[in-house]
Amino acid sequence: MNQNLPPVIASDMHEIDFKLHGDDMQFVEIELDPQEAVVAEAGGMMFMDDGIAMETVFGDGSQRNSGFLGALLGAGKRLLTGESLFMTVFQNQGGTKRRVAFGAPYPGKIVPVHLRDIGGELITQKDSFLCAAKGVSVGIAFQKRLGAGLFGGEGFIMQRLTGDGWAFVHAGGTLYERTLGPGEVLRVDTGCIVGFQPTVDYDIQFVGGVKTALFGGEGLFFATLRGPGKVWLQSLPLSRLAGRVVAAAQASGGREEGSVLGGLGRMLDGDNSR
């Protein structure tokens, strides 16, 4: 599946064109005019044309904060969210258009969000950011309520993307978008939140009775999102995927699935590693 979108001219951001490729394992292909650039998390690049220079920078890569102290502040914000102190800038230093692509870290959807269209700000889970037009600032957003801070599941520090250009975030599994009306409440598993507009009120609530909390299988707390504003949800958070993989590995105990011979079968196959 290819998605072609027209260029959008941003006032203080680098203008970029892009295509989304794939279905369940997507990647975004970004077309850069000469001297245009994008910033990305380390390790997300899939390919790039000759003529694109790759530079690792200290901080959030937006270059909004000039000087060493500004870069140090940006790096400190990223450290609080558990990310690397550095980001990578990909700039087209050739004389014609060049392309660079970034791949999704696991099965899901890449969500393009034009920050200018949603008020210039987006709050996201700390591991959902993929890349953005140069000029977009990647900061932190503290949850104001104590309950959200202590029991948020994914942490009370989230990422804040600000600017008026394109930003790309990743949602695991199937993406669900919903616009909440004023006062409308949506209850969500904390890990299933990809992002939301800052106008959305975020809090954490206890699930209810003791029996439900202990044996319901959904955890002790869930998130409440109160409108107005747009929210993006994912059906397969990375934490849930990792938990299922670990549980399956522990349950199998190293045995070969579907084999009644188990370890004997491995011996017959010449596998003596155990």
Average pLDDT of span 227-245: 85
Split into its structural domains, the chain has a count of: 1
205 pLDDT band (50/70/90 cuts)?
confident
How would residue 264 be classed by pLDDT, with cut points 50, 70 and 90? very low
Cα separation, 8 vs 53, in Å, equals: 23
| pLDDT tier, 110 (very low <50, low <70, confident <90, very high otherwise) | very high
The pLDDT confidence band at residue 11, using thresholds 50, 70 and 90, is: very low
Number of Cβ within 10 Å of residue 197's Cβ equals 19
Distances 22 to 36, 67, 110 between C-alpha atoms, Å = 25, 40, 10
- CATH label of the domain that carries residue 136: 3.60.160.10
Indicate whether 4 pLDDT > 60: no
The answer to the question of residue 262 being in a domain is: no
How far apart CA 115 and CA 133 sit, in angstroms, is 10
**pLDDT at position 9:** 38
Residue 154, in any domain of the structure: yes
Whether pLDDT at 72 is above 80: no
Residue 40 has pLDDT above 70, yes or no: yes
In a domain, 256, yes or no: no
Identity of residue 95: G
Q: Is residue 268 part of a domain?
A: no
Q: Can you say how many angstroms the Cα of residue 142 is from the centroid of all Cα atoms in its chain? A: 17
Question: CA angle 66-69-70, nearest 5°?
Answer: 40
Classify residue 128: in a domain, yes or no.
Answer: yes
Query: How many other CB atoms are found less than 10 A from the CB of residue 254?
Result: 10
Q: Residues with Cβ < 8 Å from 137, sequence gap 6 or more?
A: 60, 62, 64, 74, 160, 161, 162, 163
Instruction: Say if residue 155's pLDDT is above 50.
Output: no
